[in-house]
Structure 1
């Protein structure tokens, strides 16, 4: 079974995203609450809805739950754009897309604290989820998502982001989706 590399290095950042140090994945997820950056991409298909990924059971955080189409850590020395494009390519097989920045916010769970950089895109081509990184994915309608909120189907981070960003229309306004 695959396992996350606890020795991977991430930038330790302040709430503005300024790098103030270097931490390992293990330190980022051990309850220390050392702030580190992640990227999220919400992928909309005009006719199918919002694409979500299924997290594999081997993940150290929220295994087996449905989550943002693409999400991942920013590696030490990497820019936000580089991390976003690397993660989208690795997880979804998408090479060409136009990311639209939505917002950044701090998310805190029992074991970690992340500075989340949220992006969205419209993508009407086939998605090829990684069989090594994910347990698949599928499109969800907004109604399906709303019906499953609070039922342990989604990661708490996705539910939080859905309430803060998606339901408030921030993405729909920026992408001009009705």
Structure 2
């Protein structure tokens, strides 16, 4: 489920960087390393728990976890080295080094972390889990460059100038870096959510039609025939003739061939009858057109795998014929169709598979009914 309201701002995976900002601020305002580290760790843990409970997006708390570990290691070093004469800024630099190292290790362990945390997660949470590693990469590289800059500056300038500029170097610059990453990620997160809201979700089905999962249509199209999705097709019949029109030249399957005018992927959690009505009403100014289910079959080639539900709609009134005129096709007789079968590129693959069934079950019944009426 894609979040709305304030939740959409709280699932930003980079919010865990706020812990680092808090530590830097406390470090410079209290001048107490032990106090700063302790408060920051407690804050990180409590905020992480609160956000997990509120947003139900547990994977977004990984940056909080990484920060808590880095601060915890820094705190342990502080307690063990309390008698050493280390300058306070040493523990600030140590935090940056430790945090960067943890981010690097997390990226090396991306496959294992994804397998462990990605199980039974929604597609939204899996998307944000992937985004966390992008944040780790960006933060790691940025802080590493920052640390190298400090190292170079310390060699190029006398030590006294380094300490005179310490507030800017060790406080303002790292805070600016972390805030920039959070803002950047917030914009990116909004873009991801906007894209997910526009996405069509397709059910994954087996050959019996049982739904076993769901996937974004754009993702499935890139994976070709790995998953099978249900597709509704509607044949239009009038006086023993079949209405066909050319498929779009941009159609992913059989572009430019003649086929039924109505074909639609069933969306996740949609009723099949609703899918048929939507397919018809989308193209025609006609709210009601009686239709009947004919057959279900599996269609598969190198580009797609579909469980097709074929329906038939009979055109019987003048108003229905008038609505059909809004399309760009025509009615074909069985003779015209069979004569055109000599060229296997005229009709779509699905129509070629369906034709004999349509002819023997539907067309013959229509013609027989017509002869009975004449008699």
One fold, TM greater than 0.5? yes
User: Structure 1 or 2: larger helix share?
Assistant: 2
Residue 121 of structure 1 aligns with which residue? Answer: 313
Q: Does 1:65 align with 2:249?
A: no
SS in 2 for 1:118: strand
The answer to whether residue 213 in structure 2 is matched with residue 12 in structure 1 is no
- Segments ≥4 residues shifted beyond 3 Å: 26-30
- Counterpart position of 1:138: 330
Q: How does 1:1-178 map to 2 (within 5 A)?
A: 7-30=199-222, 31-46=224-239, 49-124=241-316, 125=320, 126=322, 127-129=324-326, 136-151=328-343, 152-163=345-356, 165-167=357-359, 169-172=360-363, 176-178=366-368
Q: Is the 8 Å Cα contact of residues 28 and 35 (structure 1) preserved in structure 2?
A: no
CA distance in 2, matches of 1:27, 1:170: 37
Cα distance, 1:50 vs. partner? 1.0
User: How far did residue 11 of structure 1 move?
Assistant: 0.7
- SS for the counterpart of 2:288 is coil
Structure 1 alignment gaps of length 5 or more: 1-5, 131-135
Deviation at 1:57, TM superposition (A): 1.3
Residues 145 and 79 of structure 1: is their aligned pair in 2 closer, same or farther, counting only changes over 3 Å? Answer: same
SS in 1 for 2:226: coil
Deviations 1:135-171 (A, max 9, x none): x2111111111111251111111111113x223x122
Greater fraction strand? 1
Contact 1:107–1:116 under 8 Å retained in 2: yes
Question: Are the structure 2 counterparts of residues 43 and 156 from structure 1 closer, same or farther at C-alpha, using a change threshold of 3 Å?
Answer: same
The answer to whether the 8 A contact 2:239-2:366 is kept is no
How far apart in 2 are the matches of 1:129 and 1:23? 34
| CA offset digits 1:33-83 (Å, max 9, x no partner) | 311101111111127x21112211122222111112311111112111000
Task: State how far apart, in whole Å, the 1-side matches of 2:284 and 2:257 are.
Answer: 17
Structure of higher CA gyration radius: 2
For 2:353 and 2:220, locate their aligned partners in 1 and report how far apart those are by CA, in whole Å: 20
Mind listing any 5+ residue stretches in structure 2 that lack a counterpart?
1-197, 369-375
Q: CA RMSD, aligned part only?
A: 2.1
Structure with bigger RCO (C-alpha 8 Å, 6+ apart) = 1
> What is the aligned partner in structure 2 of residue 133 from structure 1?
none
Count of residues paired in the alignment: 164
